[in-house]
Structure 1
Amino acid sequence: MKSSLTVYKASAGSGKTFTLAIQYIKTLIEQESRHAYSHILAVTFTNKATAEMKDRILQQLYGIWKGLPSSANYLESLQKELRADGIELPEEEIRSRAGSALCHILHDYNRFRVETIDSFFQSVLKNLAHELSLTANLKVDLNDKEVLHAAVDHIMERLHLTPIILNWILEYVDDRISNNERWDIAREVKSFAAWIFKEAYLAREHEMREVLRENKRIGELRTALNYELHASLDVVQSAAANFRAEMEAWGLGFDQFSRGGTIDTYLRRIEDGNIRAEFGSTLQGYTENAEKMLRKADRSVAALVEAAAHFSELLAELRGFQTEQLVRHTSASLALKHLNPLRLLGVIDEEVTALNHENNRFLLAKTPILLHELIEENDAPFIFEKMGAFFHHVMIDEFQDTSTMQWKNFKILLLESMASGFGNLIVGDVKQSIYRWRNGDWTILKNIEKEMAVHRPDIRNLAINYRSERRIIAFNNALFTAAAEELDRLTPDAPIRMAEAYGDVAQQCRPDKGNDGYVQIRFFDEKDKEDDWETRMLDELCEQIRTLHEAGLPYGEMAILLRYRRHADPIIRHFAERFGDRVKLVSDEAFLLSSSLSVNLLIAAMRYMADTEDRVSLAFLALHSGKPTEADANLLASRPLETFLPGTYLNRMEELKTLPLYELQEELYKIFDLGRIPDEDAYLFAYFDQVTAYLQDNPSDLRSFLTYWDETLSGASIPSGEVDGIRIFTVHQSKGLQFHTVFVPYCDWNIEQDTRGFNRRNDLLWCETHEPPYDSLPVIPITIEAAMRDSVFSREYEEEHLQRRVDALNTLYVTFTRAEKNLLAWCRTRYTMDERSTTGDLLYHALPRALDGVEETDGENGETSLFTYGEPVTSYSSGRKTSDNRMETDYRPVPVVMHSYEARIDFCQSNRAEEFLDAFSDTDKPRHSRNDKRRMGILMHKIFSTIYTRDDVEKALRTLETEGLIGTQPEMDALKQQVEKAFALPEVARWFDGTMQLYNECPILTQEYYEETGKYGTYRPDRVMFGKDEITVVDFKFGRPHDEYRDQVGGYMKQLHLMEPDRRVKGYLWYILNNRLEEVQV
């Protein structure tokens, strides 16, 4: 019986995209339905993979339909797959069905559901807006970092209104100061709070929220943990004190024992509060054999022999207390570390939710957990029928990168499909799981056969490598088999067996391949100075590139792969010194907006405008302002930096500050003549597009934009296109790519994370334990460090430790399998037989037994320093093949020249269109010359409806001036005078002192439904302020008093009382021009 679930285990280069395309097309051909494609969901993890899969499906449908030679292998494989399913179709019928399917897909493209997993969840979210209590036109936002920072900043700004949170913050500050850490905790809180978007927290979010709402819970746990901390130390210190007391009682000194100072030092460290005091081999020997405590001459003295026996037992007892209490002490210490920021998580999470609601926004990071909860509460068919499509077939690519929450959602979909007898497909490779930091869980794929055993999944291995040459394949087969065994040997009792995970690593080579391919691994001694070995490595890298290029290999066929982005800088510098402009290195960093001189000049100019004390920005402007002396550092140091800036910039500084953000940057572009800088237009166009996008959802505020630049926009990049040069990638960026020749410098990242990799900031595990007092929280965040071994969290530590070994080996596998012809790597090792701390150590010990035919070259000290296998390959496929498939786009690099032109029209539109039009109604009067009461009232209303505190008045006046509503200085002065007069009233001054939570012109929706309009009733008070015990509502008036005004405010007060029945509501009419307050009674 045919299985309803097929799982392909696709090692690197095994034709995964080919297989997916065949399976998708087969599913279309098997069914006679014209809309079969609309019932297939195919998901992958990147936009690039999605585009590639879509293109491949469409191209091959066309090629099969038209009988193109380039699609002959697809047709052959398709016929084989159909026959395996018991379906015999004539070739002409297959071609006809392929053409029909292509036609229907192209005419109904929106239902061609090949998409990223995020796009899928986003579409689910929009279709379930009602069930999720969201508006149908909500904006799905990917930038959770920006929202998070805004939420934390908002909480910090309102600490004076929330004394409980203020106390938490102060306790956190005290803890950090006592631990000699930064007391400015805003950055630390933001960093820790990022966990609210990660599955480790989201999986228990509701439980944690309930717990965190109970203010006492964290406080009680904190008290209990502090007790554990001190009580455990007291036990050990008491035992140490008892040891000293016994020594005195026996009348003995430490000098009477052999190396007795060791015991004294051990006791003093415990007495000083170090519960982790080392119990070395000497002390261990004393507990195992009391005689060792005595010098040889004293071993015949009966009194001393008796004393030695007694104190050996005491020492063993002390060690027992230390071992026992160390777990108790370490557990409490680890758990206490993050308790303060933990109780802020609930507040921050609620603030994020409130901000999202206010801005009609939903964060994509929370979609999987929300969808899972909704599916659990409803029938899965209903959920997907609600989307307008019930999927018969589900195909999941890169399954090893699926997270637990994503799998829970897809599993329900798969089970529904399988229950109906439809076929489904999973494709993945445990060995290529390198995105665990993005919640990817490779164990789901590893255990899929067991988990879905009842459905008898059909497990298939794609055994042929179509990418690499024969020697590259043979080398990787042998190396990773040996490397997995090496790692298993380190921890024979580990629950994760590397040899099992790498059981399918061996691949076959295409029969038509020769015996080509070249591998070189160079080792350096880790004891060498960094400058020494790094220089030698980079020199050799340059020499290898020069040799291959002179032999005919273009630079564009080469790639440098790095584990860490930071290693790109020394490579780029070394190449510049060695080759100058002759060799071009291309990295993604080169295409970041922050790499553009023009963009950086704009940012520096705005920074200096925002803060004239910013000497760094001033110096940058002076150095790059374009004057002839810009390269003369001595001259720059001899004169005030301001003299090097354009005079227009300095003279117009105050005027420029009043311009809207976009217009300001256009003016700065002209003032600094940025058009003079060559090859910068692509960056500037992309940058101004980003500014426009920013302004769609954010205010035109200079400081806010500069913060956005620092946190987000500086990391944006421009499309790089095709560049003839050596590409530099991180390993994670290279996933799915392949290169003729791969160079891997710095190939020695950590395997044993204890030594160098753990204890990074915010490197946490969320641990669950049932031991009191830790069981009072669903999960507790614990910093990953070696001390976890001696705690109640040791199981989680060991699991994480092994997972990181898998990460390290998988990263090495992905790196080495990118190569087609040549693979060259450089790494450091300790050369010792017992070390496997880095991939360099692992390679050094695995290579000798990996493969026959590997040549070894000894270094200066007799250690093997070079392994080679095969001969370098310089042949390559040149030129582009002309495709016979019309659906295949013939990509050709086209040089693009961009130019910037000054705008010929200046257009300014006020936010008050009626004022703009009114300016033309009195042609006999100059614009802005009128200052009647009605106009003054309108302007005053606009000021008071936009300001939060009294300090915002100046900014509001400047905004009115920018919008064209204030045109003369006398008018500005009159407005200022009137505003200051209004603040003279004590009650008004209190409304604008910033102590209350403000809602300016926010609508109040009522339950009154009006059938004639089809809408609910709405009230819109001018200013509503929430204090601790009361609510104040104010309406601004500028004319004469009327009874209807009081009725209007009374209506506001009634609605607010319904919303907040426990608070007192006060209402006022404020006649601003007359400077009179009238309290409204209800």
Structure 2
Amino acid sequence: MAALLLYRASAGAGKTHTLVTQYIKWALCDTAAFEHILAVTFTNQATREMKQRIMTALHSLANGEATALQKELFHMGWTHEPLQVRSRELLSRMVYQYESFAVTTIDSFFYKIVQSFSEELCLQQHFAVEMDEALALEESVALLLQSDLPLLQKWLVDFALENLLAGKRWHIAAQLQQLGKTLYKESFKLHEKALLAALEQEDVLPYFLADLQSNLLLFEEKMQKTGKKALALLEQEKLAPEDFSYGNKGIIGYFRKIAHTKDFAPTKRALLAATAVASWIPKRTTKNEQLTRVITDALHPLLVEAIALYDTEGIRYRTAIAVARFVYSFGLMAALLKELEQYRRRHNVLFLSDIATLLYQFIQENDTPFLYERIGNKFHHFLIDEFQDLSLFQWVNIKPLLLNSLAQGYDNLLVGDVKQSIYRWRGSDWRLLNHQVEAAFEGTKVHALRTNRRSHKAIVSFNNTFFSAAADQLMRYLEVTLSSAKEAAAPLRYEWEQMKRVYGDIAQQLLPTTQQGGYVELLLFKSHPLDTLSKERPNGQLRVQKEMIHLLKKLKNRSIAAKDIVLLVRNNREAALVEELCRGLYAARDGYMPAQARSLVWDHVAVKVIIYALYYLNSAEELMHKIALIQTYSNYIGQEPINWHHYIGRGREVTAIAVVLPKTFWDQKAFLQSLPLYACVELLIKILFAEEEAYNAVLAFFQGMVLDYCHTAATDTLQAFLSWWEKRGKTFPLPVNSDEDMLQIMTIHQAKGLEFKIVIIPFCNWNLDHIPQKGPLLWCAPYQQAPFHYFPVLPLHYSEMLKATYYAQDYYLEHMQAHLDNFNLLYVAFTRAKEQLYVMAPLPEQEGKLLTTADLIYRSLVACPTDKSGGLSVVETLAATVEETPIGIRFCLG
């Protein structure tokens, strides 16, 4: 019976090996079986790696080499000679029918499906995919700012004023682009059609704004009226604030506040005064009788009225404030959407984010058997890698194909690790792998890959114990947070339970052959005295720099190669700081040379030669193309530059080219001009770099770019490619050369899926929640009460103020999700190391707080170290050492 195989693979547990093994098992059924297997990854690099691993494994089988895969196939019933013959036949067929070797990114797969439905989707023929969505947004914002429509101008002024009030720059182009990025996200696209339909009704927005403003003013008038009435009574009775307890800081201060400001929340003294009249009157007063009468007859009833009004209508008022802070952007978002749509039509493109959306909408509106007939029946088996990175739209799009495959009796495979889900900001949904797949597919066969094949014993043992303790601490904290959510707590309890499940079984096993060594060191340091004086380098960065210098010197003295070390940071700002420090060390001959910031593909001389050759072939009579080609090729071969004044204008430019370029180029010039783009580039490389092996990696990367362009472009003519190259292609960065002996500096996101002998995490102190003022935009379902029911969805900025609104549940859900995201980042960072792991983090500034990863490390290792299973501390469980030093606490294992 067909089954959906679900593998939950922890870091370093061999998920790629599992995928390759299963692929080959299915492909060996017959030599044509591979044509009906689709393997889906998320990046081009992962695609290339998986293809290479499959081909290498088949090559080993074809040669009869004794491997773990061969042994496994023998257990399945294969014998030596038939397996070797079948593998050889399969490998040969895959080479000759390489285009049928379907290992692809999920975006490329969906693009091909959309192409096959282009007529039904009303798309123009030969459309291309615009990869640079930021460039399209920049052009659209520029056109928007040039508009002279009065209403749009009003929205822009309101937007600028709001930015000024929030302390941001008045120049709003950057803020508009940030706002526009929301339009590419699935969280918006899920509601895009309904929202646009509502905005197209011209009366809806003005009515909404009027109703919103009316509610705000009505509540403010009621509260201010109560406050002013109390103050008027005091004046009438000739009483001053000093006649009451605490003067202006007491209950009279509250009346003043609600009368003259928009801060209506009752103070602690106001709440006490509402229940205890005696608290109004100071102990020593000569006006006891008058005060008692005024308080009992008038002031106390006014206070009770104000507090009751705040309790009953305050939540609507606070919600209206939260909505009003962003509602002015409704018009701008609608205008930006129209500009982006015109960009699509003008350039005949779709954005990368459109692909999954179009298919999702098509599936929602049509019978899915139509999808099976067009694409599903071609593939029998599906393998999906990094399943935790799948988005909702991608899942809905591929789910019918899995159902169809299973119904026809074919197995399918999904593999991923929820603990490595760190791309929720890009649309991924960890809940799919965590529990939703099993709920959607009855009889799913779940397997856990728990054997760590990457790291040495000390690192695996540390991660097992630490993440068990840290997850327990985090989930307790979130549970306490939920308890303050009041009415929102009950619906969120299920989400909390599912999050708890993510790290429910963290422990990894070791292979019998695993190296027994390994080393882990965590330094929890005290802040440096100068840290408090440095605005540029806060949060203990000066201390980190000093310790990092010491560590790098120590590693260098032990003759450890630079390429075996990676410095993992949270963002590009930290990367720049670390790189600057490492360059200073290297210049002083006291450290490693850091890998340079990734240079662009256009910066490489070999790529320049190919591009200028293509320009020349496309327009051979253009003088500048001749000059560019000959000069660049002269530089490449080390020849003195041509003195062009001897040639220009004398009809001898071709002679100059002929002097330098290989004769083969001239012999095949006409043939090159007649070839398709990819074939032309391939032949140019053979002609111009026939005996050059040093540039193989760069030229192979460039060929890959050309191949990707040919697969996604509306037309692959030479002219179209060169146009794309100027606009987008030349901005691609070159991949890092892993053979260079340089110190790697990477963000944690860049390092995901990679491994390094030695990992150093110098700034292990990122926020567990979103940074204030930089929270995401939440698309919240409407509250079915005026004035929040006009639109199908409302955009609200994530901030703590939402806790006291109708949208508290949305706030707490995002709060929980953000904490899981940042905890997963910690897991990804700690599991990259093979031999040694070094972590640096500051000691908490406030005991008991859980705001950063540093706080979590401290609480898990030092403050609350009890292990729930055996009553032992983490230190005792691991037989680790903890040393108190003048600079802080040093935790060592191994």
What TM-score comes out, normalization by structure 1 length? Answer: 0.65
1:866 aligned partner: 890
The answer on 1:243 being equivalent to 2:230 is yes
State which of 704, 723, 748 in structure 1 corresponds to 2:740.
Answer: 723
Q: Deviations over 1:215-256 (max 9, x none)?
A: 221121111111122222222222322333444566543223
Code of the residue aligned with 2:329 in structure 1: it is P
Code of the residue aligned with 2:102 in structure 1: it is R
Q: CA deviation at 1:164?
A: 4.7
Deviates more, 1:373-382 or 1:402-411: 373-382
2:799 aligned partner: 785
List aligned pairs for 1:320-399, cutoff 5 A: 320-387=308-375, 390-399=378-387
1:120 aligned partner: 109
The answer on 1:43 being equivalent to 2:31 is no
2:841 aligned partner: 827
CA distance in 1, matches of 2:38, 2:598: 37
Q: CA deviation at 1:458?
A: 0.7
The answer on 1:764 being equivalent to 2:777 is yes
User: Tell me, what secondary structure is at the counterpart of 1:102?
Assistant: helix
Q: CA deviation at 1:686?
A: 11
Asked if the contact 2:875–2:882 (Cα under 8 Å) also holds between the matched residues in 1, the reply is no
Asked if the contact 2:323–2:796 (Cα under 8 Å) also holds between the matched residues in 1, the reply is yes
Q: Deviations over 1:546-570 (max 9, x none)?
A: 2122223211111100011101222
List aligned pairs for 1:714-863, cutoff 5 A: 716-721=732-737, 722-753=739-770, 757-760=771-774, 763-771=776-784, 772-848=786-862, 849=865, 850-852=874-876, 853-860=879-886
User: Tell me, what secondary structure is at the counterpart of 2:448?
Assistant: strand
Q: CA deviation at 1:685?
A: 15
CA distance in 1, matches of 2:701, 2:22: 39
User: Tell me, what secondary structure is at the counterpart of 1:148?
Assistant: helix
The answer on 1:62 being equivalent to 2:59 is yes
CA distance in 1, matches of 2:755, 2:47: 18
Q: Deviations over 1:947-975 (max 9, x none)?
A: xxxxxxxxxxxxxxxxxxxxxxxxxxxxx
1:672 aligned partner: none
Q: Deviations over 1:446-499 (max 9, x none)?
A: 12354225x210111101011111111111111111111111222324532443
CA distance in 2, matches of 1:694, 1:133: 24
Please state which structure has a larger fraction of its residues in helix.
2
User: Tell me, what secondary structure is at the counterpart of 2:513?
Assistant: coil
User: Tell me, what secondary structure is at the counterpart of 1:483?
Assistant: helix
Q: CA deviation at 1:325?
A: 4.0
- Distance change (3 Å), C-alpha of 1:59 and 1:774: same
2:86 aligned partner: 97
The answer on 1:550 being equivalent to 2:563 is no
- Distance change (3 Å), C-alpha of 1:40 and 1:283: same
1:459 aligned partner: 446
The answer on 1:586 being equivalent to 2:594 is yes
1:509 aligned partner: 510
Code of the residue aligned with 1:803 in structure 2: it is Q
- Distance change (3 Å), C-alpha of 1:698 and 1:764: farther
Deviates more, 1:300-309 or 1:210-219: 300-309
- Distance change (3 Å), C-alpha of 1:166 and 1:67: same
Asked if the contact 1:236–1:275 (Cα under 8 Å) also holds between the matched residues in 2, the reply is no
Contiguous gaps of at least 5 residues in structure 1: 83-87, 600-678, 871-1082
Q: CA deviation at 1:144?
A: 1.8
- Distance change (3 Å), C-alpha of 1:512 and 1:699: closer
Asked if the contact 1:788–1:794 (Cα under 8 Å) also holds between the matched residues in 2, the reply is yes
CA distance in 1, matches of 2:741, 2:439: 48
User: Tell me, what secondary structure is at the counterpart of 1:422?
Assistant: coil
CA distance in 1, matches of 2:304, 2:805: 21
Q: Name which one, 1 or 2, has greater alpha-carbon Rg.
A: 1
2:422 aligned partner: 434
CA distance in 2, matches of 1:451, 1:316: 51
Asked if the contact 2:881–2:893 (Cα under 8 Å) also holds between the matched residues in 1, the reply is yes
Asked if the contact 1:232–1:328 (Cα under 8 Å) also holds between the matched residues in 2, the reply is no
Q: Deviations over 1:254-292 (max 9, x none)?
A: 223331321344333333333255x44444444454444
User: Tell me, what secondary structure is at the counterpart of 2:123?
Assistant: coil
Q: CA deviation at 1:173?
A: 4.9
User: Tell me, what secondary structure is at the counterpart of 2:245?
Assistant: coil
Q: Deviations over 1:823-866 (max 9, x none)?
A: 111112325432000000110010132342232222559xx622
1:129 aligned partner: 118
Contiguous gaps of at least 5 residues in structure 2: 483-492, 608-693, 710-715, 866-873
- Distance change (3 Å), C-alpha of 1:526 and 1:417: farther
Asked if the contact 1:22–1:78 (Cα under 8 Å) also holds between the matched residues in 2, the reply is no
CA distance in 1, matches of 2:287, 2:348: 87
Code of the residue aligned with 1:77 in structure 2: it is E
Asked if the contact 1:400–1:444 (Cα under 8 Å) also holds between the matched residues in 2, the reply is yes
Q: CA deviation at 1:312?
A: 5.6
CA distance in 1, matches of 2:717, 2:819: 42
Deviates more, 1:51-60 or 1:181-190: 181-190
Asked if the contact 1:42–1:394 (Cα under 8 Å) also holds between the matched residues in 2, the reply is yes
The answer on 1:562 being equivalent to 2:575 is no
User: Tell me, what secondary structure is at the counterpart of 1:741?
Assistant: strand
CA distance in 1, matches of 2:698, 2:381: 43
User: Tell me, what secondary structure is at the counterpart of 1:740?
Assistant: strand
Asked if the contact 1:431–1:502 (Cα under 8 Å) also holds between the matched residues in 2, the reply is yes
CA distance in 1, matches of 2:764, 2:165: 40
CA distance in 1, matches of 2:525, 2:761: 14
Code of the residue aligned with 2:115 in structure 1: it is K
Asked if the contact 2:55–2:91 (Cα under 8 Å) also holds between the matched residues in 1, the reply is yes
Deviates more, 1:180-189 or 1:108-117: 180-189
Q: CA deviation at 1:19?
A: 0.6
CA distance in 2, matches of 1:564, 1:402: 23
2:501 aligned partner: 500
Q: CA deviation at 1:300?
A: 12
Asked if the contact 2:579–2:594 (Cα under 8 Å) also holds between the matched residues in 1, the reply is no
Asked if the contact 1:291–1:299 (Cα under 8 Å) also holds between the matched residues in 2, the reply is no
The answer on 1:21 being equivalent to 2:20 is yes
1:985 aligned partner: none
What TM-score comes out, normalization by structure 2 length? Answer: 0.78
User: Tell me, what secondary structure is at the counterpart of 1:496?
Assistant: helix
Name the structure, 1 or 2, with higher relative contact order (CA <8 Å, separation 6+).
Answer: 2
Code of the residue aligned with 1:332 in structure 2: it is A
CA distance in 1, matches of 2:749, 2:549: 24
Asked if the contact 1:236–1:325 (Cα under 8 Å) also holds between the matched residues in 2, the reply is no
2:178 aligned partner: 191
Q: CA deviation at 1:174?
A: 5.9
1:1065 aligned partner: none
The answer on 1:215 being equivalent to 2:232 is no
1:260 aligned partner: 247
Code of the residue aligned with 1:534 in structure 2: it is Q
| RMSD of equivalent CA atoms | 3.6
Deviates more, 1:12-21 or 1:254-263: 254-263
CA distance in 1, matches of 2:564, 2:596: 17
Q: CA deviation at 1:163?
A: 4.8
- Distance change (3 Å), C-alpha of 1:287 and 1:578: farther
